[in-house]
Amino acid sequence: MVTDVAGDVDKESHDRAIQRLVQAGAVPVTWMAVMLEWQRDWSHRETAVAVGKIAEEHGGSWGQGIFYATQMGVGKK
C-alpha cells in the first residue's frame, strides 16, 4: 500500500491504520518508490523525461538532485 498518499485526522490515527494494514500482510511503500519502479529503466526516454520532471517538482531533496544533475549535464554523452 502507498502510505504517503493517504492521510487521516491526525498522525496517530494514520500510523495506527498503517500498522493494522501491515499486520494484515500489506507491504508499505511510498509514491516515489512506486513511480520509480514503474519507470524501471531511465533509457526509456518516452517516459523518463516526464518522470524526471515529477521527481524534480515533488521529490524533495532527491528531486532537487535530479534537477541539479540535469542542469550540470550529468549522464549526457
Residue with cell 500489506: 26
Looking at the domain assignment, is residue 34 inside a domain?
A: no
For residue 5, give Cα distances in angstroms to 29, 39, 63, 64, 67: 10, 19, 17, 20, 23
pLDDT tens per residue across span 31-45: 999 998 999 888 888
Q: For residue 59, what are the domain limits?
A: 41-77
Looking at the domain assignment, is residue 35 inside a domain?
A: no
Q: Is there a contact between 14 and 6 (Cβ–Cβ < 8 Å)? A: yes
- Total domains in the chain come to 2
46 and 14, same domain (yes or no): no
46 and 72, same domain (yes or no): yes
Element (H, E) at 61: helix 60-72
Q: What is the pTM of this model?
A: 0.67
47 and 76, same domain (yes or no): yes
49 vs 72: CA distance, rounded Å? 16
pLDDT tens per residue across span 42-68: 888 889 889 888 988 888 887 778 777
76 and 49, same domain (yes or no): yes
Looking at the domain assignment, is residue 23 inside a domain?
A: yes
